[in-house]
Amino acid sequence: MADAGLTGPVLSPAARQVLATWLDQVGAALGGPARLRARIVAELDDGVRSAAEQHLTTGVDPLDAARAAVAEFGDPDTVAASFHGELTAHLARRSGTALVGSGPLVGIVWLAALVPPLWPPRPAELLGPHPLYLAVLAVAVPAALVAITLTGPLGHRLAHHPAHAARAATLAATACVVGDALLLTTFAHTAFATPTALSWPAAPLAIAVSATRLVLAFRAARRCSGGSPIRVAAPR
């Protein structure tokens, strides 16, 4: 990252190092997904390098030009903190999309784990004995869709606080944690009471899928709620 985009012919090696060091510090303070972090740093790279080159046109020393450019942009921690909303929105959208996308997979493997398999699916028969799981779905799906909507093109036209998408994603992820915990608890009870009601070739896969989503949804809920920060440093 230190050398990316810093090959302007008018800047001396010492000046480029000043810019590279500043970009490295911003990138370290940003945290978040690597791809998004790289895009933000690349945009800042273009901006700060252009600012340094602009200072050069006034006749100042290249090293002074680089220092003036980073001073204009500000302290690395403060610059990183200014992207907190974008990072949070990205996390909320990614979490909401993953939760909505994983729903059919979880449903299919649990349908296959039943004896006889409920195929084609008959929601009333499947969810009738489990009204609490139906309530979980009624919370998780709309909340995930809200998170996706607020962080998409439509969301840019709506007047809403940036934290709303994160709260919706947190609610959706928490509901998924509860839902998968219910599925696993029901499985444990069924396996003990009536093991013949389960298809054992498919049951381990259902357990693995729900357990994996439970862990990932728990992590997403913590991160979206701020319990596990995106590593954006507080301004000094």
Taking the C-alpha atoms of residue 100 and residue 144, their distance in angstroms, rounded to an integer, is 7
Which residue, among 161, 133, 163, 178, has the nearest Cα to 224 in the 3D structure? Answer: 163
pLDDT interval class at 19 (50, 70, 90): very high
- The pLDDT, as a whole number, for residue 172 is 94
Instruction: Tell me the residue type at 200.
Output: W
Rg of the Cα atoms in the chain: 25
pLDDT interval class at 44 (50, 70, 90): very high
pLDDT interval class at 30 (50, 70, 90): confident
Q: Residue 164: is its pLDDT beyond 80?
A: yes
Q: Residue 179: is its pLDDT beyond 80?
A: yes
Residues 6+ apart with CB under 8 A from 221: 170, 173, 174, 177, 227
Instruction: Tell me the residue type at 19.
Output: L
pLDDT mean across residues, the chain: 81
- The pLDDT, as a whole number, for residue 3 is 46
Taking the C-alpha atoms of residue 183 and residue 29, their distance in angstroms, rounded to an integer, is 39
Q: Residue 222: is its pLDDT beyond 50?
A: yes
- The pLDDT, as a whole number, for residue 2 is 42
Average pLDDT over residues 196-225: 87
Long-range contacts of 23-29 (CB under 8 A, 24+ apart): 23/48, 25/76, 25/77, 26/76, 26/79, 26/80, 27/1, 28/76, 29/76, 29/77, 29/79, 29/80, 29/81, 29/231, 29/232, 29/233
Q: Residue 81: is its pLDDT beyond 50?
A: yes
Q: Residue 168: is its pLDDT beyond 50?
A: yes
Which residue, among 167, 166, 20, has the nearest Cα to 84 in the 3D structure? Answer: 166
Q: What does the DSSP assignment read for 122-174?
A: -HHHHHTT-HHHHHHHHHHHHHHHHHHHHTSHHHHHS---THHHHHHHHHHHH
| DSSP 8-state symbol, 227 | S
Taking the C-alpha atoms of residue 222 and residue 166, their distance in angstroms, rounded to an integer, is 10
pLDDT tens for each residue of 84-126: 888 888 889 999 999 999 988 888 888 778 766 555 555 555 5
pTM: 0.69
**Residue 18 · residue 70 · CB < 8 Å:** yes
Residues 6+ apart with CB under 8 A from 153: none
